[in-house]
Structures are given as C-alpha cells and as structure tokens.
Amino acid sequence: MEDLALPSLASTFGTPCHVYSHAALHANLRAFQTALAAHPAGADSLVCYAVKANSNLAILNLFARMGAGFDIVSGGELARVLAAGGDANKVVFSGVGKSGAEIHAALMAGILCFNVESAAELERIDEIAAALGKRAPVSLRVNPDVDPGVHPYIATGLKRAKFGIPIDAALALYEHAARLPHIAVRGVDCHIGSQILDPAPFGEALERLIVLIDTLGKGGIRVEQIDLGGGLGIAYRQDEVEPEISACLAPLLDRLRGRKLKIILEPGRRLVGQAGLLLTRVEYLKPGERNFAVVDAAMNDLLRPALYGAWHEIVAVEQKKTPTTRYDVVGPICESGDFIGQERELAIAAGDLLAVLSTGAYGMAMSSNYNTRPRAAEIMVEGKQAHVIRQREKTADLYALEHLLPAASISSIRPEIDK
C-alpha cells in the first residue's frame, strides 16, 4: 500500500484492519473533477461524494479540502460532513425518508439542495421551511424507469423501486412545487443504481431528464441544475472492465452542451472502492469436504459477499510457491452466510496474512458489531506514513450504552413462573 508493506501494517495495527491509499483517493476524485472541468458543459459542476460509501472523517476531510461537495442521506451524514470541514452549501440531501428533524437541521445548515423523493416529503419541507422563515432549495429526484442491469438490491431507477418520483408524475409535482411559497425549485435529479459497468443506461436516463427539463421550460419552470447521481462501477473481478471516468462522462456532457446547467454528480464507490483493502489473518485451516480457511475478518467487517453474493479478490500477502488448495474463506460469525469468498485457490497456512481487495466502498460503512465483534481499525497510508483514521473499537465500548435492570426488578421476576 503506497510505500508501506502490508505485513508491517498488520503487525503494527493488528487485524482485521481496513487500509486505504491517500494517493488513490486523491486521484479518483481528481479524475471526476478534471473530466468535468475539461468539458465546456462542465464549467459549472460539482462532484458530491456519496458519503454512505465510506463516511470516515479523514476521507471526508480529504475530499472537502479538494473542493468536493457531498451527497448525504441522513442527519448523521450531515453532522459528519460538517465535523470533517465540509461546506454545507455544497451538500445535496437524498433519501426517501427524511425526518422532520433532519430537514430542520439541513435547512439550518444551509445545504445546496434537497433531492425530494415524494409529494409528501415536498409538503413537509415546505412546512418546516415556513416555520423557519426560509425557502428550501429543491430538485425532484425523478425515477426515469431505466434498467441499470445490476443486482436488484442496488438498482434504484426502475419503476418498481421505492426511490424517486415516477417520471410521468414529475411535471405535475413540479408545477405544484413552483407554487409553494417556501420552496425554491432548483433542478432535476436522478440516481439509477450502483455498480454500473455499462454506461449506456446513464445516457438513457439523461435523455428522459432532458425531455422533462424542456417540458418544464415550456411551462415556465426553469431549472438551473441537473444531478445525475452516482453509480459508476469498479472492477471487482479481474475479468471486469472498469469504464474510464472521462469516457463515461463525455457523451453525457456533450448532450448537455449549451444548456447552462450546473452539473452535479454523486459518485461513491468509484471514489473509494479501489482505494481500500481489508487485511485479515488466517486463524485456522479446516480441511474436509469443503476446505475452509477461517480468518479473523467476518461479515460484520465486510457484509457485501453475504448480502449480495458480491465477489472480492482475496490474495495471500506473502505469495508462496507451494501448491494451492481451494478454500472457502470464512469468518468466525455463527452464520453459514458468513463468508468473504468461496472456492478460492490459495497457497496458505494458519497465521498467514490475506488482503481482501476493493473494500474501500461499502466495507467499513456497512460494518456492524454482530457477535459483539469490535469494528476493525482504519488506516490511511500516505507515502511512508500510516495515519490511524479510526481506532479499533474496544469490547467494553460495545456495551457501554446498555444498562442492567434495577435490583428491585430482579427480585420480583415473575414468581408464578419461578415456582
């Protein structure tokens, strides 16, 4: 990882451990920013990092320093962005279930835009803005009914998804929004899905948005920004091809040329996914009908394989010449779904270090304390330096917010059952 050896990181910080490359994070964000800036249509543009992919403060802080905005989906993410030095007026707020308190906090912070996902949410934002004497900037998140061709759990732009406003209902809701006194219509937004490797659906969604923008214009509703969401995928497998960022953006930007729209993108995975790996050590080899390599990382550290059947490359950090064996790489959690990878050819022994690749996005962010397992440490490597950006959790922290029952309650435990 940059100038540091993974075995020394593992011995210094322990395993399991999420490790990120500062240089890769930096390069990924710059690639989006320069591709936009290099195109005439992208002169006014903003890359809003989708915080949900990896919300560590150090990563948010790096991106904020580089001029990024942020796509948030909760009040918690807003608080993180502000704590990391992010600029509230570069924040867009997506999500189908924004609470009153979250809307209030976002209005007080002065965010750039709410991406509104329903008529009821629009009413709620208008009411809260009225109570605060403010006008809330909004885009409607329209659901363009485009198939992104990805796992159903991460496809969001199809009609049957819970996300967005059906595109055929958008016009009427825009007309309504334009009449609400505490709403300022700013733009149009969509997000069709995640881990998209074939960029064609982005073009299809854009076509539908342009039709909508033109129809709105004819009715006197002028929008000033277009948000195309996130979703650009990464190559998890060696045989997958990662579409180049500028090549994906070029046809979209060409289509927007001459329209004087501020362009917003919400990439998550593509900024952080390949910048991170998960270090884990083999605890036991358990041969049998299936050979298991039991490692110290588990589904609580990396949920993607268990939840989506997702594939992450697993490599032995110190390559050996010994013959390989086919292993299921599994964690210590009491679930048969707790695997990191299945049927992997590895030459390994107990105590060996493995690197699970491409875990920077939706790795730590989806981690949990299931089986009372402390969350792993997070380390950002910058050249020869290793920064601890999140300490390993301590076991006692995991139950620090819990309380025993009062003594009186214990003595009166249901005597009829105890008899």
Q: Which residues bind ligand LLP (CB under 6 A)?
A: 50, 53, 71, 94, 154, 191, 194-195, 229-232, 266-270, 304, 361-362, 366
CB of 50 closer than 8 Å to CB of 86? no
Whole-number minimum distance, CB 134 to ligand LLP, in Å? Answer: 23
Query: Quick check: is 190 catalytic?
Result: no
Q: Determine the Cα–Cα distance for residues 357 and 200; give it in Å rounded to an integer.
A: 27
Residue 390 makes CB contacts below 8 A (sequence gap 6+) with 56, 364, 375, 377, 378
Burial (0-12, 13-18, 19+ Cβ within 10 Å), 56 = buried
**Residue ranges of the alpha helices (H) in 182-314?**
200-218, 245-256, 269-272, 304-308
CB-based contacts of 139: which residues, under 8 Å, 6+ apart? Answer: 92, 113, 114, 115, 116, 185, 186, 187, 188, 189, 223, 225, 227
Is 126 or 266 the residue whose CB approaches ligand LLP more closely?
266
Name which of 303 and 316 has its Cβ closer to ligand LLP.
303
Query: Is the CB of residue 193 less than 8 Å from the CB of residue 232?
Result: no
Helix/strand/coil for 401: coil
Which stretches within 158-199 are classed as H helix? 167-179
Least Cβ distance, residue 311 to ligand LLP (angstroms): 11
Q: Which is nearer to ligand LLP, 13 or 362 (CB)?
A: 362
Nearer CB in complex with ligand LLP: 26/151: 151
Instruction: Please say whether the beta carbons of 148 and 155 come within 8 A.
Output: yes
Q: Are strands 91-93 and 314-316 parallel, antiparallel or unpaired?
A: unpaired
Distance of closest approach, residue 230 Cβ to ligand LLP, in angstroms: 3
Q: How far is the CB of 288 from ligand LLP (least distance, A)?
A: 31
Nearer CB in complex with ligand LLP: 6/156? 156
CB of residue 12 to ligand LLP, shortest distance in Å: 28
Q: Catalytic residue among 17, 190, 248, 334, which?
A: 334
Contacts 24+ apart (CB under 8 A), 393-401: 393/369, 398/369, 398/372, 398/374, 399/372
Catalytic residues: 334
